[in-house]
Amino acid sequence: MSSMKDILKDVDFDNIIKKSIKESLPKKPTLEEAYVAEPKPYSQVSELVSQKTKSTHTDLYKGYVESLNRVSSELDGVDKTSANSNHSELRSLKIAETSNLNAVWLHELYFANCFDPTSEIYMDSMSFIRIQRDFGSFDDWQKDFLALGLSAGEGWVVCGYHMFLKRYVNTIVTQHSQDTMLGLYPVIVIDTWSHAYFRDYLNDKKSFLISQMREINWKVVEERIKRCESIHEVIK
């Protein structure tokens, strides 16, 4: 007798979700280009933010995934003949796609690289070696990253490998898609939107940022930096 797992193994759930979203939209000619994102589970085990903040943040992330899927589906059938640089449905949808796609990815990067109460970095790790090389010292990187986090408004502070400069840099992203560096592969991301800290820290953003930096999951960061090493080998 077949198990439920065997019965469901060939079911294309992405296609089912995609069709369901598209059937709820006005009928238009489609190009079958849509993609479907799925929310991923993350264990925010830290005690430095409350369960309410964790739950609210998870719900917000799932909302961005739902919005991204809807925009992706609408782009399938958008009328490209009316494209216009001042205003058109295509223009609006592409801007919405960038914002929601970045929101999903930045949240996933953040959830994965933070909330590690046993956070520890070793001096012989690739993470430490590369950060020290490009910032002078690990301490200088921390100071710069914290300063940028404090200067960021509703958005993100990011450390990443810059493919043009061929080194690691710190930067900020405003909202989800403004002031975004091209050619940057993020390795450390911290949310600086007020919803990430205000319930627990009020206006003390500095304490929130320090708490997040103390719980960076360096195992996750190490894997990202190894991928950057591979990128560097391709583009050098």
CA-only gyration radius of the chain, Å: 20
pLDDT per residue as tens digits for the range 133-161: 999 999 999 999 999 999 999 999 999 99
Out of 24-28, 36-40, 76-80, 136-140, the most confident range is 136-140
Q: Is the pTM of this model over 0.85?
A: no
Q: Go through the domains of the chain in sequence order and give each one's CATH number.
A: 11-113 (no CATH), 126-235 (3.55.40.20)
Per-residue confidence (pLDDT) for residue 219, from 0 to 100: 97
How many CA atoms lie within 13 Å of 47's alpha carbon, on the beta-carbon side?
2
* Rounded alpha-carbon distances, angstroms, from residue 130 to 34, 118, 133, 209, 218: 38, 22, 5, 22, 13
Question: For the residues 16-33, what does the mean pLDDT come to?
Answer: 54
Question: For the residues 188-202, what does the mean pLDDT come to?
Answer: 96
CA 141/CA 17 separation, integer angstroms: 43
